[in-house]
Amino acid sequence: MSEFNYQGLFAERAPITTRGANRHAKYDFAVAYPDPDTLPLTGLVEALSTALEREGRDLAYYPVSAGYPPLRELVADKLRRDRQMDVTADDIILTSGSGEAINMLIQAMTDPGDVLLTEEYVYLGTMRQMRLWGANVVGVKCDDDGIIPEALDETIRAQEAAGRRVKFLYTIPTFQNPLGWTATLERRQRMLEVCQSHGVPILEDDCYVDLRFEGEDVTSISSMDDSGQVLYTGSMSKIIAPGVRMGYLVAPEMVRERALSFKSGGVNQFAALAIEEYLRNHMYDHIDEENQALRAKRDAMLAALGEHFGNRATWSKPEGGLYLWLTMPEGTDLAGFQDQSFSEGVGYYSGSMFSPEGNGRHMARLCFGHPTAQTVSDGIAELAAIFERNGIFQGK
């Protein structure tokens, strides 16, 4: 069989993406999956059945590009109530996960060479998409209270001085992925002020905000702005299931009509019907149940780290979300050891996978959402044992 040769036929910008099957270590702290035992499976089937009975014949139509109107209404209600945002269903586009919303904005706003700002550590899939469209991804220094406003101001000035256009700041202010902190109210205000002074829009990614099991909500950055400078995305993937791929974008009309060009058809109407019916009846009960499960897992991880890592590392104490951030002494090579740890039974992602500049080789994100609390405990003990026998605690 002579293989047709496609070399020379690909677009210049098209990179090679090889993604095999998702592999899972025995103890998988690498990928941010939610709790499988609180997935609302029965509830979703019942909701779908009810919704299809009511309006399933409309599945014969292609869905409107902004997505199922009743689900957009439900999202708008929720954002007004929970995030103090002044929005209606018309401001919202449903997307295939929040990932599609982010990708649409990247494509609508990035010419090659433009700068997109992120926190100093950022989800690798987002960074990959930004670079695919030619962006310079520039991380902004953070501390435990969020992005440092002075650093944000300096970074924007430096990029503009170098003749580059800063197109937007992408931020996850609540349960930041991967760092786990939540930006304080004051920091949110100052971030917004700095961005206002430079005319730089903000894309606020609030996809983890419902996963709070401790402490008080901090209001959205979007709610502090009435000029349309803050774009906003969220997700149902975290409160229903990642597999449902349902997120949304909130943006002014002139942004929506650009972003829509980069949308891959309507979202799954089948999932939209089920989710709307389910959430309308069960949203907060379900979130409470899920968060109780997550809290127990976080507690198990904190306790196990205290027991097995003691003063040989530091780690964040997140009030919500699916992961914490582990910091080992400078010089420890968690990045280089990641594959070995996986093959010995414990998966994690090192900090350098999340850094635009490749920093954080001595840091790692540990996700506690998917395993049981007992498995979290056992896995942290195992990770300590693996580190011990491979000399990682000695800074190798």
| Crossing angle between the packed helical segments 69-83 and 269-308, to the nearest 10 degrees | 40
Select the span of 60-68, 323-331, 340-348, 353-361 touching a second copy (CB under 8 A): 60-68
Answer yes or no whether residue 54 interacts with a second copy by CB under 8 A: no
Count CB neighbours of 371 within 10 A: 22
Asked whether position 189 contacts a second copy by CB under 8 A, the answer is: no
CA 221-227-228 angle, 5° bins: 70
- The amino acid sitting at 48 is L
Q: Rule CB under 8 A: say whether 92 interacts with a second copy.
A: no
List the one residue from 268, 332, 341, 377 that touches a second copy (CB under 8 A): 268
Which stretch in 29-37, 185-193, 356-364, 373-381 sits in contact with a second copy by CB under 8 A? 29-37
Closest distance between a second copy and the C-beta of residue 92, in Å?
14
16 binds a second copy (CB under 8 A): yes
Binding flag, residue 45, a second copy (CB under 8 A): yes
Q: Is 257 in the site for a second copy (CB under 8 A)?
A: yes
Note whether 297 and 371 are within 8 A (CB). yes
Overall size of the chain counted in residues:
396
Tokens of 287: 């979130």
343: Cβ contacts below 8 Å, ≥ 6 apart: none
> Which segment (58-66, 150-158, 359-367, 387-395) binds a second copy by CB under 8 A?
58-66
Cα distance between residue 336 and residue 324, in whole Å: 20
| Residues 214-253 within binding reach of a second copy (CB under 8 A) | 226-229, 241-245, 252
Among 179, 218, 221, 274, binds a second copy (CB under 8 A): 274
Nearer Cβ to a second copy, position 256 or 361?
Answer: 256
Q: In whole angstroms, what is the distance from residue 365 CA to residue 368 CA?
A: 10
**β partners of residue 325:** 365
Stretch of 53-61, 115-123, 181-189, 375-383 contacting a second copy, by CB under 8 A? 53-61
Cα–Cα distance for residue pair 219/173, rounded to 1 Å: 10
- Binding of residue 194 to a second copy (CB under 8 A): no
Among 44, 192, 363, 380, binds a second copy (CB under 8 A): 44
Query: CA 379, 315, 390: angle at the middle one, nearest 5?
Result: 50
Q: Please, are residues 238 and 207 in contact by the beta-carbon 8 Å criterion?
A: yes
The DSSP output letter for 168 is: E
Shortest spacing between CB 110 and a second copy, in angstroms: 5
Is 345 an interacting residue with respect to a second copy (CB under 8 A)? no
Tokens 């897992």 — which residue?
Answer: 297
Supply the minimum distance, in Å, between the C-beta of residue 328 and a second copy: 27
In the shown chain, the binding pattern of residues 352 to 371 toward a second copy, with x for contact by CB under 8 A and - for none, equals ------------------x-
Residue 67 found at the interface with a second copy (CB under 8 A): no
Q: Within 108-167, which residues bind a second copy (CB under 8 A)?
A: 108-111, 132-133, 165, 167
For residue 244, the 8-state DSSP code is G
262 counts as binding a second copy under rule CB under 8 A: yes
Helix orientation angle between 269-308 and 373-389, rounded to the nearest 10 degrees:
50
